[in-house]
Structure 1
Amino acid sequence: MTILLVEKDETYAKLMTQVLAEYYPMAMIEFCRTIEEVKTKLSTSILPDLALCEVELSDGLIFELFRDFMPNFPVVFMSAYDKYWSQSMAYNAIDYLRKPIGEEEVNRVLDKYENLKLHFLKRFMAENDSKSTKSVFQKDRLIAKKGTNYYVVATKDIAFIYTESRIVFLIDRKGERYTVERSLSELEIELPSRDFFRVNRKFIVHINAILSFKPSFKGKIALELMHLSKAEVSISQENAAQFKKWIEE
C-alpha cells in the first residue's frame, strides 16, 4: 500500500507518519511539503492508494493542482479552517479534518477508509456473484513481513491469522509469526472459504490448524489451535451452527 502525505508543518507530519506506520506497518509513505513536490510525485510515481493533504501549502492551495489532475484515489483534506470544506468535496474527498488534529482523528479516518473499501468490494462481489468473479479475489498466497524482510506465504501453509492492537499477524504451520497488511474483513473475502473460517472478531483459522473443539458455556464452541494449545479461541453461539456446517462440508 502506498500513502501520500502532504503536510507543511513538521509537527503534524511527524504525528501522522507515526500513526500511519502503526496502522499500516507495511505501507510505503511518500511525503511532500509543496504543490510542486506533489505534482512531480504524481507524474513520476504509481498513484497512491490514499492521500492525506493539507489544503494550504507555501506555494498555493492543493486544489490548484487537483483542478488539472483530478485524483483517481481517495483523499483526506486537512486545514485549520472550515472554509475549504465545500471545495474539497469535488476532489474524491472521503473526509475533512479540522486542525488541530490528534491521533484519534487520524485513526478514525483510516477506519473510515477501510470500511468504505470493504463496502465497495462486497458490493462488487454481490453484483457479480459468479465463481469466476470470486476466484479473482480468492488468493493462494499472501505477502507477509517479518522484521524488514517480505515473504510469500502460501495459504495452505497458514495456521491462523489474528489481530492485536490494530496489527494483523499471520502464524504459519511451523509457528513462525509475520505481519500482514490486510484487515481481517478483507482476508475473510480473499482466503478460500473451504479452508478458512472467521471464528470471531479477532481470528481466522485454517481447518488443518484446529486440533480439537468442544462445547463451551452459553452455547459457544471452544477451539484448540495449533501453536495455541494452552489457549482456547471461542466461537459465539450465533456462529456455532455455521462453524459446524463448515467443518462437515
Structure 2
Amino acid sequence: MTKNLLLVEDEPLAQARIKSIVLKHFPEWNLAEPIQSVRELNEALEKQEEFDLILCDVHLADGLSFSGFQGKEIHVPVIFITAYDQYALQSFEHNCIDYLLKPIQEDRLVKAFEKVEKFSSSKRSIPFPKEFFNEFLSRYTQKNYKKRFLSRSGNRLCFIPSESVAYFYAEEGVTFLIESGSSHKHIVDHSLNELEKELLDPNKFYRINRSVIINLDNLVEMRPYINGRLVVSLNVKSEESLIVAREKVSEFKSWINQ
C-alpha cells in the first residue's frame, strides 16, 4: 500500500540511511523532501492530512521537535528517533507511537513501519490530545554526556576531553582510558557499564566487546578476523588487537553507517 512519509531529520547521514531502507523495503512509498527544523515542522503539520506517517528526530538544530507538535491535534502516526532517554520515550507506546534509538538499525526501522501499517489497516484514528506534548516537554530533559575525564598521575590531576579518547578498556576490575595520538594511558573511576549506559554519547562511542569501548572519531579501518569477527584499527598505538565480538558485528557495521 502506498504511503506518503514525512521525514523530519537534520543529519544528512541519517537521512540517507532512512531513504535507503525505505527504498529497499517499501519502494512503493512516497518519501517527501526531508525537513530539518522545528519551524519547517510547524509548517508541515498545518498540512498533516497530506501524510500517512511522520518519522521525526527528537533533536533538531533549532530545538526539540516536540515543541513543533505543541498545541496541535495530531491524527497521523508518528515514529520518533532519538539518541537519548529510551526509558522516557517508552510512554509513547500507549499512544500508538513507536520510537527508534540511534544509530538506526535496519530491522528495527522495518518493524516500526510494519507496526504503523497494522495500525493503519485497523482504520483507527486516535488523535494525540493537545496537552500530551506539553506534559512530555515539561519532564523531558536532554541528556548531557560527559565532556572530560579526570585522571591522577602521581600527585598531578589531569583532564582528558572526551573527544581525545581513543578507547576505554577494562582489565582486572580497573578501567583505563587511552588517548588518541599520544597513546597515553590513564585510570578512570568508572566501569565500562557506567560509561556505556550513562556517560558516553552513543553516537560516538561503541562497546565492541565485553572489555573495550571505542571512539568512532578515531576509527581508521576495520578488517575481517577469525570466526566471523572484525579487528579495528584506531588512531593510537595499541598493544592488544581490538576485536569486535561476533554477535556485535552486524550492529557495529550499522552503527558505523549512521
Q: Under a length normalisation based on structure 2, what TM-score does the superposition of the two structures give? A: 0.44
Higher relative contact order (CA 8 A, sep 6+): 2
Pick the structure with more strand per residue. 1
